[in-house]
Structure 1
Amino acid sequence: MAMSLAGMSDAAAKTYVIVIEQMRFNPPVLTVHRGDRVVWVNRDLFPHTATAAATATPTAFDSHEIQPDASWSYVARQAGSYPYLCTLHTTMRGTLIVQ
């Protein structure tokens, strides 16, 4: 029975997109469920990162540089609230909430 529940959970996973444009993360706050994929798409003219802030689990996620017209994805595995920022432009901030 647990096997089918796990299978159902995997089948229900969704993909969400955060667009990086005009020096902002859009949407700035996103709520997902464990197992969901989050894709950051850089539509700006220069590189950005999506890096979990030091107040979050430091190793939660770090995209490194996402080049213009490129993307990076992350599968949310652990519940929690993850403030993140662009390490190249520290005024750019967002929050990923994993339920």
Structure 2
Amino acid sequence: MKLLACLSQTCPGAKTHTVTIEGMRFNPQTLTVRRGDRVVWINRDLFPHTATATSKAFDSRSISPNVSWAYRARTVGEFDYGCTFHPTMRARLVVEPRAKAPITRTNRAGPLR
């Protein structure tokens, strides 16, 4: 059940990461996140751009100047992406598995006598 909740909403400990689009570049050009994290692309350029995965895993469509678009990273893998309007703009999103919480045991019955 927790896995389904993690996929449909935010995972516990999920973070938000930012990719800035400026000067006809994605910055950073390679971003590594954990499954369940949110990635926000902010267009600070003068032209509209897209963040479109070559695998079709995600596609922002047109992001106008001074507008952002967000994507929840649900699938583990490496995703090359670029701007469909400007083919020289390329970058990579790496999605790693979320670390499992350590299993701890507690003595609920109290100390042994």
Which residue of 2 is the match for residue 20 of structure 1?
A: 21
Which residue of 1 is the match for residue 11 of structure 2?
A: 10
User: Counterparts of 1:21 and 1:45 in 2: how far apart (Å)?
Assistant: 8
Which residue of 2 is the match for residue 50 of structure 1?
A: 51
Counterparts of 1:18-97 in structure 2 under 5 Å?
A: 18-53=19-54, 56=55, 58=56, 60-97=57-94
Which residue of 2 is the match for residue 98 of structure 1?
A: 95
User: Counterparts of 2:46 and 2:88 in 1: how far apart (Å)?
Assistant: 17
For the pair shown, the structure with the greater C-alpha radius of gyration is 2
**Which of structures 1 and 2 has the larger relative contact order (alpha carbons within 8 angstroms, sep 6+)?**
1
2:41 is matched by which residue type in structure 1? Answer: W
Q: Aligned with 2:75: secondary structure?
A: coil
User: Counterparts of 1:10 and 1:19 in 2: how far apart (Å)?
Assistant: 24
- Higher strand content, 1 or 2: 1
- The runs of 5 or more residues in structure 1 that have no matched partner are none
Q: In the TM superposition, what is the alpha-carbon distance from 1:11 to its structure 2 partner?
A: 2.3
1:29 is matched by which residue type in structure 2? Answer: T
Q: How many residues end up aligned between the 2 structures?
A: 91
Q: State, as a whole percentage, how many aligned pairs show the same letter.
A: 58
- The two structures, once aligned, show a CA RMSD in angstroms of 1.5
Q: Aligned with 2:89: secondary structure?
A: strand
Query: TM-score w.r.t. structure 1 length?
Result: 0.87
Instruction: Name segments (4+ residues, structure 1) moved above 4 Å.
Output: none
